[in-house]
Amino acid sequence: MKLLFHPQDKEIVRGVTQIQAVDKTNSPMCYTAVKVLEFAQGAEYGEILNKQEAGIVILTGKASVIVDQQTYADIGQRQSVFDKIPTDSVYAGVGSQFKIKAATALKILIAYSPTEKKFPTRLIKGDIHQIEHRGKYNNKRMVQNILPDDLPFADKLLLVEVYTESANWSSFPPHRHDHDNLPQESFLEEIYYHEMNPKNGFVFQRVYTDDQSLDETMTVKNNDIVVVPKGYHPVAVPDGYESYYLNIMAGPVRTWKFHNDPDFAWIIDRK
């Protein structure tokens, strides 16, 4: 089962380079898919969503995003994801046609999930993000919620950005959300899009199940993607480097309820 995807730069239209494209055709994912695109200034790219909803996240730069007849001009808040400024995003519902026009050099992520339920197009400004600081000791990270489960703006998609400090662990203690067992646990696939600061850095990510029928530990580099169809999925960041990842989650029910690995759950309550 392929879980780690390295960037594959490919010009798909003039001035637009596809860094990543992960979906059900090349991965085990059914509820989640993603593209990462880089634009030269002035370049344009568009799609028609059939039986999918999409979250268009402005990673860096500024763009105008047109969805059907609605235009959101010059959105985007940062030059690097490590500016740690909550970014602007656009939600596009099933059946929509969208176009992205790069006002500057631009990097975007488009997250997809299949659905037939129509939700309204929506601009999600960075200033509505819920920002959390999680963990203690060497498990510290900052979370910027773009599309959490308590914002009823989508049918399936959940989107969140996470910053993990140097020499810390993230998504830790290890947790899973692969059992359809609400209210205790929800089934959600998850995709991690990673960036590093400095860019030559790496993190380690392990994906494993209780019975260890799936157990892979990966060296993950800048612009890599890791998919988590099931299992626990902790991330370790080396000293001297800083980690960013954007999580895409989706499943049958748009609720995030997780289960910690009982072998590591004690870490939460330690003094």
Look at residue 270 and tell me whether its pLDDT is greater than 90.
no
State pTM to two decimals. Answer: 0.96
Torsion angles phi and psi, residue 153, rounded to 5: -100, -5
Q: Report pLDDT for 271.
A: 67
Q: Report pLDDT for 269.
A: 79
pLDDT of 48-86, one tens digit each? 999 999 999 999 999 999 999 899 999 999 999 999 999
Domains of the chain, each with CATH number or no CATH = 4-269 (2.60.120.10)
Q: For residue 191, what is the enclosing H or E element?
A: strand 189-197
Gap between the Cα atoms of 19 and 10, Å rounded: 7
Look at residue 210 and tell me whether its pLDDT is greater than 80.
yes
pLDDT of 1-48, one tens digit each? 899 999 999 999 999 999 999 999 999 999 999 999 999 999 999 999
Gap between the Cα atoms of 10 and 254, Å rounded: 33
Q: What are the DSSP calls for 163-228, one per residue?
A: EE-TT-EES-S-EE-EEEETTTEEE-EEEEEEEEESTT-EEEEEEE-TT-SSEEEEEEETT-EEEE
Ranking 72-81, 93-102, 122-131 by mean pLDDT, the lowest is 122-131
